[in-house]
Amino acid sequence: MQEAIHLSFNGMTLRGMEHVPPHAPGEKLPAVILFHGFTSNKLEQHRLFWKLSRELEEAGVAAFRYDFLGSGESDGHFEDMTVSGEIAEAHAILDSVRQDLRIDPTRIVLLGMSMGGLVASVVAGDRPQDLRDLVLLCPAGNMYDIVKPVVDMHLANPELKVLDYGGNLIGRAFGEDVRVMNVYDRAKNYTGEVLLVHGTRDSTVPFTVSQRYIETCYGDRAELHPIEGADHTYNKHEWEREVLDTVVARVKKIKQA
């Protein structure tokens, strides 16, 4: 069943969707929490997160996907968004899923795409004991490099409060936050296994970023699955299909364990 859900956070409302498969009374389900990327929303590009959630549900796994504040249908303004703010929201979402009586708190997977992957990697580093597995799709450990032109413009003009980034306004606080955040230092505290899925022709978050996550944070606990020729958001049916099949196969192992 797909149902609309909401979660209160700091006086505002995070809005999302849950996909919970049929289950016996008292049965505890494994769950995947999906974190979307920068300027995106809980559907993700070409409805990737919706498709993935539906396939997880069919496999007997619950899925939860929220819009971060300032994105999609959640409260807030995009120009107030920061990576640290999304990390705090992600912690609240994880708390909510762990407290859900339908969910087995020992079988929760975090999945993040792009900047959502950065968020997921940091939350996993903060709370390794609360997760069964971690899945990162083209995780944006290089987020500072992506937005550095915006950060530099803010630094050069102290009076400038927001900048237009493809129709989205980015506030000064975003750049100040991401400039001092050491993503890999926080992510390396995660002690479990991790799957990284990355397009080999990703020009936004280069394939080497996933390799750096492995070298710096995860070592031999990580599996890196390259999508040959794929771009940042897997914008071809065959690339998307490979992402879906790879992730669902991974999560099924957790369900069967």
Domain spanning 2-142+184-256, CATH architecture: 3-Layer(aba) Sandwich (3.40)
The pLDDT score that the predictor gives to residue 53 is 98
Q: What is the pLDDT of residue 233?
A: 98
Residue numbers of the chain with a pLDDT score lower than 70: none
Encoded tokens for 111: 């999945």
> Residue 247 in contact with residue 52, Cβ under 8 Å?
yes
C-alpha 89/C-alpha 9 separation (Å) is 7
Q: Give the pLDDT of residue 254.
A: 84
Backbone angles phi, psi at 72, to 5 degrees: 55, -130
Tokens 């996909």 -> residue: 19
Residue 1 pLDDT:
82
Residue 245's alpha-carbon distances to 24, 31, 68, 140, 183, in angstroms, are: 26, 17, 26, 22, 28
With a CB cutoff of 8 Å and minimum separation 6, the contacts of 33 are 63, 64, 65, 90, 93, 94, 97, 108, 109, 110, 111
pTM of the model: 0.97
Select from 120, 139, 132 the least CA-distant residue to 61: 132
Residue with tokens 């929760």: 108
> For position 155, what pLDDT does the model report?
82
Reduced to 3 states, what is the DSSP secondary structure of residue 164?
A: strand
CA distance 94 to 127: 10
Q: What is the pLDDT of residues 187-243, one digit of tens each?
A: 999 999 999 999 999 999 999 999 999 999 999 999 999 999 999 999 999 999 999
Residue 195 CA to residue 210 CA, distance in Å, equals 10
Domain ranges across the chain: 2-142+184-256
CB 87 within 8 A of CB 151: no
